[in-house]
Amino acid sequence: MPPHPITRRHALGLAGAASAALLTSPPLRAQAPKVLRIGVATGGVGTPPRTGSSTIGLVNAQGLLEKAFERDGIRVDWIFFKGAGPAVNEALVNRQLDLAWQGDLPSIVHRAGGVKTRIVAASGVRNGLYLGVPTGSAVQRLEDLRGKRVAVFKGTNLHLAAVRALAAHGLKESDLKLINLDPAAAQAALTTRDIDAAFSYVDLFALRDKGVAQVVWSAARDSYRYTRQTVLLATDDFAQAQPALVQRVVDTVVSTARTYSDEARRADLFAEWGKTEYADKVWREDFIGQPLRVRLSPLLDPFLVARYEDGADEAHRLKLIRSRPEIRSWFDRSFLNQALKTQKLEGYWPEYAADGEQVGSKLAAAR
């Protein structure tokens, strides 16, 4: 099925949303930088690179920040890292970035290491995690992994989500042979049956469609607590020196999230992401049964905070970090709250409690 084209009406809607965010953004300081440096924790695909699965990917692909800062003469540099989150951390340590889009575990690692950042918006929450096994394997559930050779890309949010899911099903990391492989290497090892299973993302669908693997478990179908979270962070120094600039970035992210959270735009969303790492049909399958307002929510709600707190506990227990960092004050809602208020989007996205239940749903059920 060919990608669904973006109509002129939709294009105008995008332009209108971006313009609204731009017009309501405060003016920048006279000392505003000439370049805005944004790190992206994936290698992306194409030239220039682009990525799917998040609002940040849409903002990048459509050049929305470039348009937002054009009047100020500020160039936007998107820096994609094939080394994923750990490579972003290195750039943050070396003060080479102003903002970054990154998963939960690498972010927790840099916070534990004393790198000063603040989480300013969600972008890519409840991302999928899947378990793939060779076709015909006796492994059909997580409990069957005991003693097996299992691949996961260690140091990324795939690692943390996998360990969390295993623990919930009665398995410690030491109960199996966890092998560090990036997704491409894991796919090759599954194909040659050099491993018994692999935790990964939608890349596993391609192996399944070729008949060489089965996808036997999905985090989203088990519990959102085992899904992966990604956020937009700003360095403390940059947020303090250029709050209006950070606000304009968050304004743009929120307006884009609003545009594509509309179920009428579902086909447009997957058509856009279909130009990235995977075909649109792959994204469609990953989102089955999940409202766009849930997956594209920019909210820093109690559910998201709880997942980062769980992640910090698990990373410390697994000795991935030396000390457990404080989590709650890391979330800076000031920019997001301003964007929601200005764009009249307060209450638009559903808020979730720490246990994954929608806020207000229990009360409504009781009535």
Are 118 and 237 in a shared domain? yes
> Tell me, what's the pLDDT at 359?
85
Are 121 and 163 in a shared domain? no
| Bridging pattern class, strands 117-122 and 149-152 | unpaired
- Rounded to 5°, the CA angle 157-158-162 comes to 115
Lowest mean pLDDT segment, chosen from 8-12, 126-130, 150-154, 163-167: 8-12
pLDDT (average), residues 192-207 = 96
pLDDT (average), residues 328-346 = 98
pLDDT (average), residues 147-169 = 91
Are 185 and 166 in a shared domain? yes
**Is 324 in contact with 120 (CB distance < 8 Å)?**
no
Are 287 and 337 in a shared domain? yes
Q: Which of 226, 255, 282 is the last residue of a domain?
A: 226
Are 170 and 201 in a shared domain? yes
> Tell me, what's the pLDDT at 225?
87
Are 149 and 178 in a shared domain? yes
In the structure encoding, which two tokens stand for residue 47, read together? 């030239």
Q: Is 63 exposed, middle or buried (0-12, 13-18, 19+ CB in 10 A)?
A: middle
Q: Which of 175, 204, 226 is the last residue of a domain?
A: 226
- Per the prediction, the chain carries an average pLDDT of 89
Q: Which of 226, 248, 264 is the last residue of a domain?
A: 226
In a domain, 349, yes or no: no
| Rounded-to-10 torsion of CA 67, 68, 73, 74 | -110
Q: Tell me: pLDDT of 35 over 90.
A: yes
Are 213 and 256 in a shared domain? no
For residue 157, which of 102, 211, 197 has the smallest C-alpha distance? 102
Q: Is 118 helix (H, G, I), strand (E, B) or coil?
A: strand
- The residue segments making up the domain with residue 86 are 8-125+229-342
> Tell me, what's the pLDDT at 19?
45
Q: Tell me: pLDDT of 20 over 50.
A: no
For residue 219, which of 158, 173, 145, 282 has the smallest C-alpha distance? 158
pLDDT (average), residues 282-295 = 93
In a domain, 245, yes or no: yes
Are 83 and 146 in a shared domain? no
Lowest mean pLDDT segment, chosen from 27-31, 34-38, 51-55, 230-234: 27-31
Q: Tell me: pLDDT of 5 over 50.
A: no
Are 161 and 308 in a shared domain? no
In a domain, 205, yes or no: yes
Are 20 and 75 in a shared domain? yes
pLDDT (average), residues 164-169 = 94
In a domain, 361, yes or no: no
Q: Tell me: pLDDT of 65 over 60.
A: yes
Are 172 and 280 in a shared domain? no
- CA distance linking residue 136 with residue 140, whole number of Å: 10
Lowest mean pLDDT segment, chosen from 26-30, 71-75, 117-121, 206-210: 26-30
Lowest mean pLDDT segment, chosen from 37-46, 281-290, 323-332, 357-366: 357-366
**Is 142 in contact with 199 (CB distance < 8 Å)?**
no
- CA distance linking residue 60 with residue 53, whole number of Å: 12
- CA distance linking residue 233 with residue 168, whole number of Å: 29
Lowest mean pLDDT segment, chosen from 88-102, 163-177, 352-366: 352-366
Are 171 and 35 in a shared domain? no
Q: Is 3 exposed, middle or buried (0-12, 13-18, 19+ CB in 10 A)?
A: middle
In a domain, 357, yes or no: no
In a domain, 138, yes or no: yes
Q: Tell me: pLDDT of 242 over 90.
A: yes
In a domain, 355, yes or no: no
Number of domains in the chain: 2
Q: Tell me: pLDDT of 277 over 60.
A: yes
pLDDT (average), residues 18-24 = 47
- Give the CATH number for residue 259: 3.40.190.10
In a domain, 356, yes or no: no
